[in-house]
Every structure is written in C-alpha cells, then in structure tokens.
Amino acid sequence: MADRTLTASIGIATVDVDVATVAVVDGPDRGATATVGDAPLVLGTSEKADLRLTDRTISRLHCELVREGQAVRVRDLGSKNGIWLAGSRIEAALLAPGTHVHVGGTEIEVGIERRRTQQPRWTGPDEFGDLLGASRGMHGLFATLERIAPASLHVLVHGESGTGKELVARALHQASPRCERPFVVVDGAALSRSLADSELFGHVRGAFTDARQDHAGAFERAHGGTVFLDEIGELPLEVQAKLLRVVQEGQVRRLGDIVDRAVDVRVVAATHRDLRRAVNEGSFREDLYYRLAGVLVEVPPLRMRSGDVELLGKAFARRLAPEDPRAEAMAQAALAAVSGYRWPGNVRELRSFVQRALLLGDARLGSPAALLDGPARIRTDLPFTQARREWVEAFEKQYLSHVLDEAGGNVSEAARRAGLARSSFYELMTKLGL
C-alpha cells in the first residue's frame, strides 16, 4: 500500500456549514476571535494554544471548546482560576449560542454562524485499512489519515476506550512508506516502572539482576517502521523524559550502556486521557506532548457515528460466522431490539454484543437487555491495577449512560436518580467523555 496516491480518495467540496465561534468580549484581548472546527479548540496563554490570549489570570492551557450540534461544550483543563457561568464555577457545560462565560478575568461569548467554505471530502470506500465507517465523522477521519500517512510526523490519537485507536495506528502504518518495516506495539498501561526502560529502550547484559543477555527495546526493533505507544498518558515522568530524547534526537541508549544508537521511527501514540489537563496538572510533560502531537487525531465515539452501528454489526457478523447465511439478519434483528442504546464501550462493546447475539440465536432476542454488557467483564489477562481501573471505568460508563437515558438526557434528574450532586455527575460525565 506504500504507493497509494496522497489525494486519491480526497476531493474538495464547497459547502454551507454551521460553524461554532468564540469571541473575547471583555478583557486584555477584547476582539480576538476563533472558529471551533471538528477538533477541540484549546484556549490559553501557551504559544501552543489554538486561541492564545495574554490575560495573566488565564492558565497556559485553560479550557477547551468542542462543537456539539447547535451548541458548544466548554471544559476546564485543570486551570487555576477556572470557568465561571452565571456566577458559579463549572467544570464543563453545554453552551447555547450567545452564552457568555468568564475564563480567568476574560469574558468570552460562543456562537454559531453559517459560512460557505471549502472542505476536504472523502470520496473513497467506507473503509481505511481495517477501519470501517460511513458516517461523516469517520469519513473525516479517513481523509485526515490519507493526508498524513506519507509524512514522517508523529501522531497523537485520542479517543475513548474501545473506539479503535490501535486500528488507526495500524492503518496509518499500512498506508505509509514504512509499511514493509516493523510495526511494534507497546502498552504503556501494562508497563511497570521497573520494566518500562528495558521494554522501550532496551538493556545490556548485567544492567540489572535478571539481565542475562542484551535486549533491543521497542524503538530498535521498530527501526525504519512505526512504534505504537498505547496509553501514553500512563508512563511515569522519568520515562517521559527519556522518551522525549528519543523523539527529539532519534537516539536511544540501552539501560546500562554508554553508547547511543540511531533509530528511524515514526511514533503513533494513543490515549483515552486528556493529556492537556495532565500537562496543566504536571503529570505529563508539555514538551513531550507537543512533540508527539505533530498531528492530533480524534477518533469519534460510536454514539456520534450515525448509521455506523448497523454497518459494523453486519461486518462483525460476517467475520464471526462466515459460514452462517443467517448471521447478518440475526445481528440486524438484535441491533434493532436495542435501538437507541448509547454504546459506552464503543466498537469493542458492539462486537461483543454481536458475538453474543450469534451464539444465543433467536432464543434471547425477546430480552434484548440480556445481550448487552452487564457488569464489566473482569480481565484476568491484565495486571490487577489496570484490570480494576478498566472495570471501574466500564461500570461508570454503563451506569451513567443508562441513568441519562432513563432521565431523558436531563442531567439534573439523572444526578438525582444516581444520588449524586449535579456537579459530581458532571465531573464523571466529563471524565468519561459522555
């Protein structure tokens, strides 16, 4: 696939679209404006912020704004002076056009405007590598991947658990000139502090008690190819510092060695965490963040991919039961029975759902809830701390999603049913990306 043409599946369309805007209406930067595109817009004083302001009461990466339908969601990124709406400090809120909020000592207004613009348009099939989707969000993702695949820029992939971040990384590798070279996966969440150095950078014999022979780390093994660093946000700060040197200089030094080795590697990192908040909180290096985020790719959650559930469900049915002519129809019937479900576990949960539907057959379709994930599956293939973290996160997503659905999307009512303060419920929603 290395010879595919960069713009082979990308066209340009002139369209009238509603765009979200943010304008500074009071403060040192009064008159400054910006457009909120498909990716989140970050407001702050850092030179890396999308809307850079000079107000000293604003943090370097203060907040982000995301377009959601005909509204704009604002979310604090761990700032010192916060976001204030109608006199109350908030963590996150969905703002209607014309709403004013204060960030530090600056007042901003969000809006929605209709503009005529030229946009890249995906003209290829409903797939890219092993990724599948016909929704606008996925076609936009495919167009982005097509454009950046031939480059050597490092890429940061952000998305909820189960959205397919590793598939994005593999698709990038397969569409790049590096496709014939190694693709090496490193799971940052599964690395202990003691093993992280050795796994990433390698070691020489005698470097530590059990180092009985030389070992090439992930970067050496991937020379000429791609390293996929999954859950990059889980790496300890001391490992981040060493990783920064590799990314900046293309040099790696094995643990216990005195010799630097040159490596030619493209890094695709992935996380479900908000690394900009982690930067503000001091748990992730800002210089490493911007080195890795040569391009920031957002993978949309399944609930935002209109029409893709049925498409994916049929594809999973064909793969899981290729010899069964009834498979697609059974999957379609099961999905129809749970129409409107929010799929908090995303594509991973959908695949499990289809698999259960095919195994149980018609006998359980009268009780569609039985096919959905119950309490999150305990993964004994993971270390205890990671398995517990994933179990708790999956439970929280399922619980909050169901309570929100039962409350008709009313956050105050959902919080009341859950026995939580509205602010606490909002914090959980923000953390889980709901």
Distance from chain centroid for Cα 29? 31
What pLDDT does residue 294 have?
Answer: 84
Q: What backbone phi and psi angles, to 5 degrees, belong to 11? A: -115, 175
Contact 357, 334 (CB under 8 A): yes
Strand partners, 215: 203
- Give dist(CA 70, CA 433) in Å, integer: 18
3 pLDDT above the threshold of 60: no
Instruction: Write out the two tokens for 214.
Output: 């030389």
Does the CA dihedral 268-272-274-275 come out positive or negative? Answer: negative
369 pLDDT above the threshold of 80: no
What pLDDT does residue 1 have?
Answer: 37
Mean pLDDT, rounded, for 20-38: 93
C-alpha distances in angstroms, 138 versus 60, 128, 132, 133, 157? Answer: 31, 9, 8, 5, 14
Which residue, 64, 54, 144, 65, is CA-closest to 105?
A: 54
The per-residue b/e assignment along 313-330, b for 16 or more CB within 10 angstroms, e otherwise, is bbbbbeebbeeeeebbeb
433 pLDDT above the threshold of 70: no
Whole-model pTM: value is 0.74
What pLDDT does residue 38 have?
Answer: 72
Percentage, residues of the chain above pLDDT 70 = 88
Average pLDDT, the chain: 85
- Give dist(CA 328, CA 325) in Å, integer: 7
277 pLDDT above the threshold of 60: yes
pLDDT digits (tens, 9 = 90+) for 79-128: 999 999 999 999 999 999 999 999 999 999 999 988 776 666 677 789 99
Q: State the DSSP H helix or E strand holding residue 120, giving kind and residue range, or none if neither.
A: strand 106-122
Mean pLDDT, rounded, for 321-329: 88
Higher confidence at residue 38 or residue 262? 262
- Give dist(CA 75, CA 91) in Å, integer: 6
- Give dist(CA 289, CA 233) in Å, integer: 10
Q: Does domain 124-298 have CATH number 3.40.50.300?
A: yes
318 pLDDT above the threshold of 90: yes
Provide the 3-class DSSP secondary structure of residue 190: helix
What pLDDT does residue 377 have?
Answer: 56
pLDDT digits (tens, 9 = 90+) for 127-147: 999 999 999 889 989 999 999
What pLDDT does residue 163 have?
Answer: 94
Residue 250 has a CB neighbour count (10 Å cut-off) of 14
What pLDDT does residue 4 have?
Answer: 39
330 pLDDT above the threshold of 80: yes
Sorted by sequence, the CB contacts under 8 Å of residue 92 that are 6+ apart come out as 73, 74, 75, 76, 426, 427, 429, 430
Provide the 3-class DSSP secondary structure of residue 257: coil
Mean pLDDT, rounded, for 361-371: 49
336 pLDDT above the threshold of 50: yes
Mean pLDDT, rounded, for 278-291: 91
358 pLDDT above the threshold of 50: yes
What pLDDT does residue 102 have?
Answer: 97
366 pLDDT above the threshold of 50: no
What pLDDT does residue 200 have?
Answer: 93
Higher confidence at residue 145 or residue 19? 145
What pLDDT does residue 156 have?
Answer: 96
Contact 221, 180 (CB under 8 A): no
CATH code: domain 15-117 is: 2.60.200.20
Domain ranges in the chain are: 15-117, 124-298, 302-371, 384-432
5 pLDDT above the threshold of 50: no
52 pLDDT above the threshold of 90: yes
Q: What is the DSSP string of 123-173?
A: -S-SEETTEE--SHHHHHHHHHHHHHTTS---EEEE--TTS-HHHHHHHHH
* Band of residue 262 on the pLDDT scale cut at 50, 70, 90: very high
Mean pLDDT, rounded, for 33-48: 89
What pLDDT does residue 225 have?
Answer: 97
Q: Does domain 302-371 have CATH number 1.10.8?
A: yes
Which residue, 207, 196, 255, 194, is CA-closest to 229?
A: 196
What pLDDT does residue 7 have?
Answer: 42
